[in-house]
Amino acid sequence: MTDARIRIDIDGAIATLTVARPEKLNAFDIDMLKALSVACDTVEADAGVRVVILTGEGKAFSAGGDIKAWGAMNPNEFGHHWVRFGHRVFERLATLRMPVIAAMNGHALGGGLELAAAADIRVAESQIRIGLPETSLGMVPGWSGTQRLVRRFGAQVVRRMVLGGEMFSAEEARALGLVDAVVETGTVLFAAREQAERIVRRGPAALEICKLMIASANGEDNGTAVEALGSILAAKTGDMKEGVAAFTGKRPAEFKGEW
């Protein structure tokens, strides 16, 4: 599915994903979630893409979920078609094979902060504010705000946002580890691009493996990380090549244990 509100621009080894619904502060509806999932598949399948920059168009990074998209849903629809689906899409983004940089050009609230948290590195402009205001609407963060954010940033800072309703400035967020760098207004894409160009100069295989290893150490889907690493290793062995050749040739395999 394509949607003009999720834009993909590929320049050499760097892909930029832009959430482009500025009139709604880049708030998501179902079609945008679907398009983000497709965009993740697109950049993952492009062997030339080595790093992804994620940003918003206009004054906001993202205001999260559009209340008009989910406010009238019954509990079953809300839980399954909105929360669980959005969770899967953000997990898809978080587990891309290449590093992802969130270029936070504006406020990141609720699902917008959860979106930024799915990136590996966050660069924020100095004017932005971030928070998780869901409890003020009688709801809970549903796109991993109480899960990924706790693992990556610590439980207490999430408590302050979710239970205490605190919102943080960019500098406060940097001091708390929620963002990695703060830059002047209007310069975040330039700063993210500089970071991306540094990443591109590093070994792509090493980066992918390190991303999996760090995720595993942080308790983020250990099973997937371990099996992905094991599968990559097995695929490079002489034994796997021999096994495939033997199956194709309808003959017994002659394994030699070659790594």
- What percent of the chain is predicted at pLDDT more than 70? 98
| Average confidence (pLDDT) over 27-44 | 96
- In the prediction, which pLDDT does 244 show? 84
* Cβ-Cβ contacts under 8 Å for 82 (sequence gap 6 or more): 30, 65, 69, 70, 73, 142
With residue 109 as reference, give the H or E element that holds it: strand 107-109
Task: Report, as residue numbers or ranges, the catalytic residues.
Answer: 114, 134
Same domain for 208 and 103: no
- At 108, which amino acid appears? A
Would you place residue 129 in the very low, low, confident or very high pLDDT band (cuts 50, 70, 90)? very high
Same domain, 213 and 103: no
Q: What is the pLDDT of residue 1?
A: 57
Q: Tell me the mean pLDDT in the region 205-226.
A: 85
- Do 143 and 235 fall within a single domain? no
Are the C-beta atoms of residues 8 and 42 closer than 8 Å to each other? yes
- State how far the Cα of 239 lies from the Cα of 174, in Å rounded to an integer: 48
pLDDT at site 243: 82
- Whether the full predicted model's pTM is greater than 0.85, yes or no, is yes
Do 79 and 179 have their domain in common? yes
Q: Kindly tell me if the per-residue pLDDT of 178 is higher than 80.
A: yes
In this structure, the answer to whether residues 144 and 234 fall within a common structural domain is no
Range of the domain at 84: 6-200
Q: Are residues 15 and 135 in the same domain?
A: yes
Residue 108: pLDDT band with limits 50, 70, 90: very high
Specify whether 56 is located in the same domain as 146.
yes
Tens-place pLDDT, residues 50-101: 999 999 999 999 999 998 988 888 888 888 888 999 999 999 999 999 999 9
pLDDT at 177: 97
- Per-residue pLDDT of 217-258, as tens digits, reads 888 876 777 777 787 778 778 888 888 888 899 989 888 877
Contacts of 240 (CB under 8 A, 6+ apart): 234
- 257 inside domain: no
215 and 194 within one domain: no
